[in-house]
Structures are given as C-alpha cells and as structure tokens.
Chains A and B, each alone.
Chain A
Amino acid sequence: MIIAVASGKGGTGKTTVAVALSMASSEPVLYADCDVEEPNGSIFLRPEVTETEKVLVEVPRIDEGKCTSCGKCARFCQFNALVSLGSPPLVFPELCHSCGGCEIVCPTGAVSWKKVPIGEISLGTSDGGRISVLEGRLDVGSSLAPPVIRQVKSHIADGVLTIIDCPPGTSCPVIESLGGADYVLLVTEPTPFGLHDLKLAVETVRELGMPFSVVINRFDEGDSGVEDYCGDEKIHIIVRIPHKRFMAEVYSRGGNLFDAIPEMREIFSEIPRIIEKGVEVK
C-alpha cells in the first residue's frame, strides 16, 4: 500500500507524520521523500546511504551551422527557454521542460539534445534495515521538481508499505508525488491559513478521485475552523496531534514525534491498518 502525506500549507507537519508512520510500523517500510526542493526526512531517519544516482534532463542544443535564425523554435516555446533575436536562439536551459517541441518545429534540423543534471536520488536504510529511505534532491538553482520526483517514484516497488512525503502546495510537484498512491493523508493545522490551504488540497485530491482523510497537527491550538469544515464536508479526521512546546524542542534537535509524545506511537502504528480496511488497495 502506498500512502501519500500531503498538506496544501507548508510547515503543518507532513514530514513529522510521514516519518512517524515509517517508524511506528513493525513491517518493512519504504519512506520516499518527494519534497525534492527541501527534503528533510533523512534528518530524522538518519539513513545509511548505500546508493546515489544523478537525475538528468534533456535540453536543446542549437547547431548554429544549420540554424537559419527563423525564430520558429522561440515562438513555439511556451516556457520562454528559447529567445530568437534574428540570430541563432539564446537557450535558457533552466527554463526548459524538455517537451521536444523546438526540435519538431525546426525546419532545418538544427536542434539536438544534451543531458544536464538537475538533481540526485539517494537510497539508504534506517532502523536496522527495516526502513528503506529514498530521497530526491533538486540541485540548487534548478527549478524543475517533477522529473526528480518521477525518478524517485521509479524506485517504488509493489507490495511494500510505502510512505510518500509530498511537497507542500497543490501544483505540479504535488500532483506528480500523489500519482499512484492508494491513499492520501492531508496534514493541516487549526488556523485560517491551514484551513484555506486544506480546502485547496481537498479540492485537488477529490479531482484526482483519491481516498483521503485529515491529520490535524497542534489540534488543541488555534480555532475550530478546520474541525467545522471537515464536519460539514464529511471528511474523516484520522488523528489529532497535540501541541507541545517540548515537541518543537525535540524536533529542532532532530528528534521524532515519539521522542516527544511516546503515546502517539501506538496510534500511528494502527493508521495503515485503519486505512487498508477502508480502501480497496491496488
């Protein structure tokens, strides 16, 4: 079963929840950090990294001998990665989405491709080998998260309980991370901002037709907006995590949820079973 942990709003506790789910299980687990712009699960899981690989994408290379400076490629490019000024085009590889359109529209075959690195995947183990830790990391200065996320997900095998730590928001990187998951946990906090972004996240997973429930972090703080909304929308709240100042102190030292609130371990160990009962797993 693949459980994706997403949120809408950043900083609500996705990694806390994803790491806790991985640690609470007694079975083999794959933790996959798809928050490739700021992967931080490994800070808490401290894996021994056994393998790394580069993530490469293809960007256009212009053969200036063949280019007639017609500008068709630049007019075609929706990502502004090519600019034509009546000369062979300038290429901005960091904006390229590798769609291949420039090669198709070029009448003289002046476009070929070269591979450039945009990130790295690492694979390791934690908790004496029980937890496999997969992490994608986008290079500083690169802006294309989805290809890195795709490569992370290419390592996910069937049959192992897999926890996907998603990026925040509801844009392409999140959609890419959610793909193929059996269930989504939406982590939020009881604040107006938390509620606003929870609504966007709910809209997203409903559009994708994915089963989901909500985790409320710091549930005993803030206001009742999230509870009221979930009640009105008939959204199941699967777990409520209390707010403890001590939790922040433990977290800042790289400790996990159970170091701060040991009694949460049993609750988290039950979550995959609760989900499995209610969901038809692919």
Chain B
Amino acid sequence: MKIAVASSGKTLDALVDGRFGRASGFIVYDLENDTFTVADNLQNLNAAQGAGIQAAQNVAETGAGAVIAPSFGPKAFSVLKAAGVKAFISSVVTVQDAIEEYKSGKLTESVAANVEGHW
C-alpha cells in the first residue's frame, strides 16, 4: 500500500507541512518496496478557494490508501472519505518520522475533521 504525507519538501527528511490543503506537496511512500515519489500541490497553494478539496482529490489520484497530516478541514475530510483514503493525524516533525509512526501502528485513523475550514 502507498501512504501520502503532507510535506514541505521533496525528501524524507523534509518537514511535515502544517496544512493539508495548502501543503507544498505530498510524499507518496510505497510501503511494499520502501520507495517514494513526490506529488506536487502547488496549484492549491495558490488556489483562491477549495484547496483542501483539490488536495484531497490529488492524494486520491496518487493511489494512496492513507494520508498523514497535522490537520484536516471538513471539506478535505469529506472528499478523502468519499475516495476511501484514510486520514491520520500526526504532529511529528519530519516525513520520515511520520512514516515510521504509521509503520509501527502508533497512529489511529481519524474519524472527523480536526480543524475548521480556513484554519
């Protein structure tokens, strides 16, 4: 399975981006062979509205079955849910740490948005 992590950079030691919808990009990590690709989110960084919605759609299109970010707004969450992508909330610092947390089963799936829209 692949998991996506909101990232402010293009490497595993990049910082986890504080916002889901307006994250710089997503590191899409393949748990089976420990490789990753980077999915750009630039168009949403500058979107006038609906950044969370589009970011969720982007993540769904990468084929990721789960996504990790420090926060999810209500619209992003509803799109992820409809797309069958599980949302996990993590407050760790680096993308690598977030993936390790996921692998070791420390993260629990989020059942609702944890911030308001336009947080």
Interface residues of A (CB under 8 A from B): 74, 79-81, 83-85, 87, 90, 92, 95, 143
Contacts and interface: CB of A to CB of B under 8 A. Distances in A.
| Chief secondary structure at chain B's binding surface | helix
Interface residues of B, number: 15
A79 B47 CA distance: 9
B60 interface: yes
Contact of A83 (B47, B51, B57): B57
B112 interface: no
Contacts of A87: 82
Interface of B: 47-51, 53-54, 56-57, 60, 75, 78-79, 82-83
Contacts, number: 34
Nearest to A82: B53
Nearest to A81: B50
Contacts of B48: 79
A80 B50 contact: yes
A85 B49 contact: no
6 closest pairs, A vs B, by CB?
A: A80-B50, A85-B83, A80-B53, A95-B50, A80-B54, A83-B79
Contact of B75 (A74, A79, A92): A92
Contacts of B51: 80
Given A83-B54, A92-B50, 20 more contacts: A74-B57, A79-B48, A79-B50, A80-B49, A80-B50, A80-B53, A80-B54, A81-B50, A83-B79, A83-B82, A85-B57, A85-B60, A85-B79, A85-B83, A90-B79, A90-B82, A92-B75, A95-B49, A95-B53, A143-B49
